[in-house]
Amino acid sequence: MKRWILLWTVCLLMLVPQPLQAAVIEPTPHPDHPVVLHVFTQRRILIIEGRGREVFSHTFGDERYQYVPKRVLTTSEGFVVVGERISRLEEQYYEIFLLRINLHGDVIEHSIFEESRNDALRDVFVYDQITMIHTQAQHIPAGAQDLEWVADKVYWIAFGEVLETYVFSESFSQAKQFGQTMALYLDDPLVPEVLILDEHQLLRAGQMRGVEARGVYVGEVTLQFVGPLRLNGRLIHTPITLDEPGVYEVGFAGATFQFTLHPSLQGVSSQGLYKEALRIHYSAGQAWLNDDLYYSGALIDQPGHHRLIFTAPTYRYEVPFTLTANVQGVLDRQVYDSPRTLTFQGEGYLNNTFITSPHTVSESGQYVLRVYGQAGYEETHSFNLQLEPQRSLDYWHMGEILLLSTSILCGLYFSISHLLKKRQKSR
């Protein structure tokens, strides 16, 4: 009897519908904003939730289609979710789907790519507005049961539109991202055999972009190439970005050439003339200001004919500029009739007497202001100060003034006395 009860219990439990096991992707925090994306499936429904400063939720899928997430990536504007949408209709197949969600939780793109039907998703790379999807096309040969590889495909996608499709007859084992360049590895896991630069450029063996023979570049350059390359004698196989100033020698595809890279400068230009103190910022390298080591952003406030110098083996780059004494208060060969306040930068001498800025001149005379700076720099300003002399009162003038004052006071006294007498008589 107990055995029958146990069997009936087991049967009843089997008849009770069991919850589907949820597929979960690890929470994805955004690197620059306080938002975390949670992606998981429940009962064949894809659920996307945002938590943090912005809270949002979206669901995808129904009885016709099941969404299976494979990758979650971040961009400057939000998140990208890529996976496979499986058809549950009479004709069963799967396609790649792509969802873009901004930082406020809005779904700004929901794309299905029929071109990828029944292609296996291998990898996804995102360049903000452009997404690269790597798939493998497979099929089942007639009379066989196992899938057979046909070709690798790379789709460049922007705003739901496939911009370019690359099909490779050889399967590549992996793809790596170098800045804005995608490197595809076929046989050798260390040496890429194909580079995708953007949606319109693809490099194969023996091809290179980025620099030319005898080219001169500023700031940084990126060498994109397929095949072994020697840079200043060093063997490299993958794209490389250079920012150190210098002369570079490249050996590639049987040819050797040189190019020059200068630093990017802010705050100064060659042969520039400046009045105010300045700061120079440079992108890379080690700089010298005249004979002294100069660090990017340091203040330059001493007048002079300056040279900013960068050096490296077989390389020298000079940027000459002038910082004046910026003398204020007087102009050369001018005459003034009021005191003058002199301001300047540098080492100043007024009529061969050392002075500091600011300095006020309040006595008449001929003056020569000399200001010295670095590297033999000198400015000279001569001016004439002619102040009007103050008039002094002599004794005769003082007597005349005293007599006039006394006469006025006496006149006022007699006038007032006369008026008072008349008023008393009238009463």
DSSP assignments along 332-366, one per residue: TTEEESS-EEEB-SSEEEETTEEE-SSEEE-S-EE
Q: Is residue 410 part of a domain?
A: no
Q: Are residues 231 and 139 in the same domain?
A: no
Q: Based on the number of CB atoms within 10 Å of its own CB, is 404 exposed (0-12), middle (13-18) or buried (19 or more)?
A: exposed
0.85 cut: is pTM over it? no
Query: Are 377 and 318 in the same domain?
Result: no
Enclosing domain of residue 207: 172-259
Question: What is the 3 state secondary structure string of 56-83?
Answer: EEEEECCCCEEEEEEEEEEECCEEEEEE
Whether 421 is covered by a domain: the verdict is no
| 188 in the same domain as 301 | no
State both tokens at 70. Answer: 């494979």
> Do 159 and 176 have their domain in common?
no
- Rounded Cα distance between 343 and 228, Å, is 62
pLDDT at residue 232, rounded to an integer: 95
Instruction: Report pLDDT digits (tens) over 271-299.
Output: 999 999 999 999 999 999 998 999 999 99
Please indicate, yes or no, if residue 426 is contained in any of the structural domains: no
250 and 273 part of one domain: no
- The alpha carbon dihedral of 107, 36, 65, 126 has a sign of positive
Distance CA 150, CA 138 (A): 5
d(CA 34, CA 211): 40
Residue 347 domain flag: yes
Distance CA 223, CA 38 (A): 38
Q: What does pLDDT average to in each consecutive run of 10 residues of the chain (427 residues)?
A: 40 37 76 93 90 90 91 90 90 90 92 86 78 79 67 79 76 71 74 71 85 96 92 92 96 95 96 95 95 94 95 94 94 93 94 94 94 91 85 61 72 69 65
Q: Is residue 392 part of a domain?
A: no
pLDDT for position 137: 80
Q: Say if 339 falls within a structural domain.
A: yes
Give the DSSP per-residue string, 114-139: GGGTTEEEEEEEEETTEEEEEEEEEE
pLDDT at 238: 87
Query: 147 and 29 share a domain?
Result: yes
In order, the DSSP letters of 142-168 are TT--S-EEEEEEEEEEETTEEEEEEEE
Residues 128 and 221 in one domain: no
Q: pLDDT by residue (tens digit) across 314-325?
A: 999 999 999 999
Q: Is 390 inside a domain boundary?
A: no
CB 100 within 8 A of CB 107: yes
Exposed/middle/buried for 45, CB within 10 Å: 0-12, 13-18, 19+? middle
Q: How far is CA 386 from CA 336, 341, 353, in A?
A: 6, 15, 20
Q: Based on the domain organization, do 89 and 134 belong to the same domain?
A: yes
What pLDDT is recorded for position 198? 63
96 and 164, same domain (yes or no): yes
**At residue 400, what are phi and psi to the nearest 5 degrees?**
-60, -45
Res 147: pLDDT: 61
| 308 and 239 co-located in one domain | no
Q: Please report where in the chains the tokens 């429904």 appear, as a residue.
A: 45
- The pair of three-digit structure tokens given for residue 404, joined into one six-digit string: 């006039």
Total tally of structural domains belonging to the chain: 4
245 & 352 share domain: no
C-alpha–C-alpha distance, residues 412 and 418, integer Å: 10
Residues 127 and 184 occupy one common structural domain: no
Q: Which helix H or strand E contains 424, and what residues bound it?
A: helix 395-426
Question: Residue 346: inside a domain, yes or no?
Answer: yes
